[in-house]
């Protein structure tokens, strides 16, 4: 019992930190510009592919630095020449633009690297076991990912709260018009935030690329869950995003471990519901099978009950 709880907790924390890496950038972008950026997961995928390609040319560690920078540059270009042009047409047009962009990026990736998953193995320098817990080994690359994720959180937190540009960004998160009236170049701040957000997604992609399979459908695999994290965590709150990703990561991992269903609980309590009936079918779903549904249930509940999210500073 203790074994499965500890191992599940560890796995949940790892998964949660991966989600945080992915969604930290989107929290910034969504909070700042109110844009539901559907292309965020695509930039994650681009980061994975770029690090694969650069890794083959110059090795893993330089790629770890260069790939996110490239993604940041691409993000800045998207904002400057795409989103800015679409902005006057309204929120819906912005959302649809990022939607179309996600589609196009997936196809461009297919055009360049093919439809199959590319062989993006764990780099030899981090392919060893960090420690052994209850007989299960813990690979070093997961440890690296955790370290990067925590570092990301700390750096962003410090940068937003202690530096001047961070304070301007924070103000623009809640009062963009006032900040503009005070003379700051808010459009340039937008570009900067989008670039940083995209760069973070790219960095997450470098690690995510060999944790998951690097293939053109990678963006689809992680896309919806990132939105859940951002909304549940709340707008404008980095800490909220961290808490939400950990919550979702741990909940989902634990859910997989539970082989019982509502029906088992009811039957144990003496309430006799037959498994063959329609009600029995619904209640008979094991929590392990229902695990993929948990984040979306959380999303809908949060939006209906508390649209601000857990730690949000403003309404959606």
- Which residue stretch of 9-17, 47-55, 166-174, 236-244 sits at the interface with another protein (rule: CB under 8 A)? 9-17
Question: Which one of 53, 69, 77, 103 is in contact with another protein (CB under 8 A)?
Answer: 103
Give the nearest distance from C-beta 98 to another protein in angstroms: 10
Question: Which one of 119, 154, 158, 279 is in contact with another protein (CB under 8 A)?
Answer: 119
97 binds another protein (CB under 8 A): yes
Comparing CA positions, the residue from 18, 7, 246 lying closest to residue 144 is: 18
Give the nearest distance from C-beta 161 to another protein in angstroms: 26
115 binds another protein (CB under 8 A): yes
Question: Which one of 16, 25, 253, 263 is in contact with another protein (CB under 8 A)?
Answer: 253
153 binds another protein (CB under 8 A): no
Give the nearest distance from C-beta 100 to another protein in angstroms: 4
| Separation CA 158–CA 20 (nearest Å) | 17
Q: Where are the alpha helices (DSSP H) in the chain?
A: 2-33, 40-58, 60-78, 84-86, 91-113, 140-162, 164-174, 176-181, 186-211, 218-233, 238-257, 262-269, 278-283, 287-290, 294-305
Nearer to another protein by C-beta: 168 or 214?
214
Query: How many other C-beta atoms lie within 10 A of the C-beta of residue 257?
Result: 15
52 binds another protein (CB under 8 A): no
The length of the chain in residues reads 316
Question: What would the x/- binding string for another protein be over residues 187 to 226, using CB under 8 A?
Answer: ------------------------xxx-xxx---xx-x--
Return the half-sphere exposure (C-beta side, CA atoms, 13 A cut-off) of residue 307.
4
Nearer to another protein by C-beta: 124 or 162?
124
- By CB under 8 A, the residues from 260 to 289 that bind another protein are 278, 281-282, 285, 288-289
| Residues in Cβ contact with 256 at an 8 Å cutoff, skipping those fewer than 6 apart | 8, 288, 291
* Phi and psi torsions of 138, nearest 5°: -115, 110
Nearer to another protein by C-beta: 266 or 288?
288
| Separation CA 227–CA 29 (nearest Å) | 12
Token pair listed for 100? 């179309």
Give the nearest distance from C-beta 44 to another protein in angstroms: 12
Question: Which one of 117, 251, 262, 310 is in contact with another protein (CB under 8 A)?
Answer: 117
Q: Which helix (H) or strand (E) holds 136?
A: strand 136-139
| Separation CA 72–CA 78 (nearest Å) | 10
- By CB under 8 A, the residues from 285 to 314 that bind another protein are 285, 288-290, 292-293, 296-297, 299-300, 303-304, 307
Total site size for another protein, rule CB under 8 A: 79
Going 158 to 74 to 208 to 19, the CA torsion angle's sign is: positive
Nearer to another protein by C-beta: 186 or 222?
222
Angle at 25 between CA 177 and CA 252, to 5 degrees: 130
Token pair listed for 51? 């690090």
89 binds another protein (CB under 8 A): yes
Question: Which one of 129, 175, 239, 260 is in contact with another protein (CB under 8 A)?
Answer: 129
Nearer to another protein by C-beta: 128 or 165?
128
178 binds another protein (CB under 8 A): no
């Amino acid at each position: 019992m203790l074994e499965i709880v500890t191992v599940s907790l560890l796995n949940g924390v790892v998964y949660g930190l991966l989600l945080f890496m992915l969604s930290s950038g989107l929290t910034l972008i969504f909070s700042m510009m109110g844009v539901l950026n559907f292309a965020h997961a695509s930039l994650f995928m681009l980061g994975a592919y770029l690090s694969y390609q650069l890794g083959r040319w110059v090795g893993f560690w330089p790629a770890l630095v260069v790939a996110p920078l490239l993604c940041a540059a691409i993000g800045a270009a998207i904002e400057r020449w795409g989103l800015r042009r679409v902005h006057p047409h309204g929120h819906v047009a912005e959302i649809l633009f990022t939607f179309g962009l996600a589609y196009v990026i997936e196809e461009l990736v297919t055009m360049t690297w093919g439809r199959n998953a590319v062989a993006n193995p764990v780099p030899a320098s981090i392919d060893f076991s960090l420690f052994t817990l209850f007989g299960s080994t813990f690979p070093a690359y997961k440890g690296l990912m955790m370290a990067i994720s925590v570092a990301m959180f700390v750096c962003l937190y410090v940068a937003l709260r202690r530096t001047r540009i961070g304070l301007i960004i924070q103000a623009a998160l809640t009062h963009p018009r006032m900040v503009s009236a005070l003379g700051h170049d808010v459009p340039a701040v937008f570009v900067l935030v989008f670039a940083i957000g995209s760069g973070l997604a790219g960095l997450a992609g470098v690690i995510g690329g060999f944790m998951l399979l690097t293939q053109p459908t990678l963006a689809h695999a992680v896309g919806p869950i990132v939105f859940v994290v951002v909304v549940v965590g709340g707008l404008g709150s980095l800490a909220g995003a961290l808490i939400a990703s950990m919550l979702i990561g741990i909940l989902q991992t634990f859910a997989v471990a539970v082989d019982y269903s509502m029906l088992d609980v009811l039957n144990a309590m003496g309430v006799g519901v037959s498994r063959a009936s329609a009600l029995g079918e619904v209640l008979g779903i094991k929590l392990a099978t229902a695990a993929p549904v948990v984040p979306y249930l959380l999303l809908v509940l949060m939006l209906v009950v508390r649209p601000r999210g857990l730690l949000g500073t403003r309404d959606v």
